[in-house]
């Protein structure tokens, strides 16, 4: 039975068996025309799915690898050749310094897992990109074997045993129990990600998304000229009258991409969503509505709500940090003044169950924008959550949860996050 590979974090993966019987196609590319036609038609379905629709680069990567495999040119599916042909890199480029192909392959694996969760088993075709290779594997579903009816021996016509009323009732009860068990086995069970979201999805009112607001300093034109004329490295003192505080209620492009994934997740679960810029939330909404708070140091609600929790955000002298208040000295931090090419970030996901004073709440926030985007991706991709659910204690879907994430950043974009710590209460 062939596997489907889903990535749950950097270097972590889960391999789940496909349901039903699947026939792997020959690895040497010797496919029949009918098999190749089915795979290309299925590729088109994948590219139109919500998992790939908004990612042209992932569409190109999957199409490129599938077409080379179908045409028997699997020898060209090497990291360096893909970097040159698909990403325009120089022939002699250093793959260790520029891992664009590995990063994109990981993202494609993640999107494949999401696409198959959306499509189910209706296609009869699977495309798998195993870890450690860029050669896709193809599998076709085998037709189900027809059920065979047991042979029965005809009862003698002269004598038919009559069951008593008690026997008939017992047989009827056993039949109903067997039917109920059969229906239960086919009843769709919510995945770990859906269980995590369930308190917010079950609420009657729309999901509110609090985007927060950053604070900017605006200087007068005269002060701007003084700053521009000051030599680099020299301090300059400006009068308070030339400086004003401005709230910026725009969101970054990175956050926008993550919120698109959240919107598509809510759409798949028939959940209405309402975005709120800044800190625009009424007292009734804070008391009743399900709310997703995005960002940490740009969102006062996040900082305030985490003040009494185990994992919380703090500004420390070295920079920004997520602090474990129950373990002295344990924290995860990044410099507040990030270099131009940051390589590491941390994020925190918190879900609070509804109480008599407030509705269910969910927080997705990183120390920088990279961590926040990774946290939003983590909340919309089912592939992460099978591994997460195994790490959490029994009964976690009905309790409050915090998850600390590590986010590696390569070539200006975040890689799939991995879990560092968790707390359930």
Q: Give the pLDDT of residue 405.
A: 94
Q: What is the pLDDT of residues 33-80, one digit of tens each?
A: 888 888 888 888 898 888 888 888 899 999 999 888 888 888 889 999
What is the model's pLDDT at position 401?
A: 96
Strands of 331-335's sheet in order across: 311-316, 319-324, 331-335
Mean pLDDT of successive 10-residue stretches along the chain, which has 425 residues: 39 42 66 84 88 87 89 86 88 87 91 84 80 87 60 49 55 57 45 91 90 66 78 74 60 66 86 79 83 89 92 88 93 73 87 92 91 89 82 92 92 82 95
Token reading at 74 = 């699997």
| pLDDT at residue 221 in the model | 79
What's the rounded Cα separation, in Å, for the pair 233 and 354? Answer: 51
- Cα R_g (the chain), whole angstroms: 27
Nearest residue to 110 via CA among 14, 3, 38, 198? 14
**What does the pLDDT read at residue 291?**
93
Domain residue ranges in the chain: 3-141, 195-231+240-424
* 329-385 pLDDT tens trace: 999 998 865 555 668 899 999 999 999 888 999 999 999 888 998 899 889 888 778
Residues 6+ apart with CB under 8 A from 252: 369
Helix axes 100-119, 33-48, angle to 10 degrees: 90
Q: What is the dihedral of CA 63, 66, 71, 75, to 10 degrees?
A: 110
The per-residue pLDDT for 406 is 92
pLDDT of residue 172: 61
Q: 401-410 and 361-366 as β-strands: parallel, antiparallel, unpaired?
A: unpaired
HEC string of 212-280 equals ECEEEEEECHHHHHHHHHCCCCCCCCCCHHHEEEEEECCCCHHHHHHHHHHHHHHHHCCCCEEEECECC
Task: Go through 102-129 and write b for each residue having 16 or more CB atoms within 10 A of its CB, e for each that does not.
Answer: bbbbbbbbbbbbbbbbebeeebebbbbb
Q: Which of 94, 149, 145, 105 is nearest to 128 (CA)?
A: 105
């Amino acid at each position: 039975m062939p596997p489907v590979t889903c990535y749950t974090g950097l270097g972590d993966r889960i391999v789940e068996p496909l349901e039903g019987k699947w026939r792997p196609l020959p690895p040497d590319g010797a496919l029949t025309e009918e098999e190749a036609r089915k795979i290309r038609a299925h590729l088109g379905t994948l590219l139109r799915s919500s998992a790939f629709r908004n990612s042209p680069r992932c569409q190109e990567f999957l199409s490129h690898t599938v077409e080379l495999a179908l045409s028997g040119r699997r020898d060209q599916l090497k990291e360096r050749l893909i970097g040159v042909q698909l990403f325009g890199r120089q022939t002699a480029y250093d793959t260790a310094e520029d891992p664009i192909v590995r990063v994109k392959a990981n993202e494609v694996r993640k999107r494949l897992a999401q696409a198959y969760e959306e499509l189910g088993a209706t296609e009869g075709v699977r495309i798998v990109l195993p870890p450690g290779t860029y050669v896709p594997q193809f599998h076709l579903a085998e037709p189900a074997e027809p059920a065979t009816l047991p042979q029965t021996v005809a009862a003698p016509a002269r004598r038919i045993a009559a069951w008593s009323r008690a026997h008939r009732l017992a047989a009827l009860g056993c039949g109903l129990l067997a039917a109920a068990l059969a229906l239960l086995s086919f009843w769709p069970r919510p995945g770990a990600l859906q269980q995590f979201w369930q308190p917010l999805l079950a609420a009657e009112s729309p999901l509110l998304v609090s985007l927060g607001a950053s604070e900017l300093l605006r200087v007068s034109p005269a002060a701007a000229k003084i700053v521009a004329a000051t030599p680099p490295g020299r301090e300059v003192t400006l009068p308070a009258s030339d400086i004003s505080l401005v709230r910026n209620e725009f969101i970054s492009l990175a956050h926008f991409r993550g919120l698109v994934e959240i919107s598509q997740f809510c759409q798949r679960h028939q959940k209405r969503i309402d975005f709120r810029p800044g800190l625009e939330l009424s007292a009734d909404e804070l008391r009743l509505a399900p709310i997703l708070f995005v960002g940490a140091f740009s969102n006062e609600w996040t900082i305030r709500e985490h003040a009494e929790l185990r994992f919380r955000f703090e500004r420390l002298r070295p920079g920004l940090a997520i602090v474990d208040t129950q373990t002295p000295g344990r924290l995860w931090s990044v410099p507040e003044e990030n270099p131009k090419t940051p390589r590491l970030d941390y994020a925190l996901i918190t879900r609070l169950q509804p109480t008599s004073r407030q509705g269910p709440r969910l927080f997705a926030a990183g120390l920088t924008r990279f961590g926040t985007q990774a946290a939003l991706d983590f909340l919309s991709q089912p592939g992460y959550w099978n591994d997460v659910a195994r790490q959490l204690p029994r009964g976690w879907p009905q309790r409050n949860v915090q998850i600390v994430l590590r986010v590696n950043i390569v070539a200006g974009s975040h890689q799939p996050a991995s879990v560092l710590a968790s707390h359930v209460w």
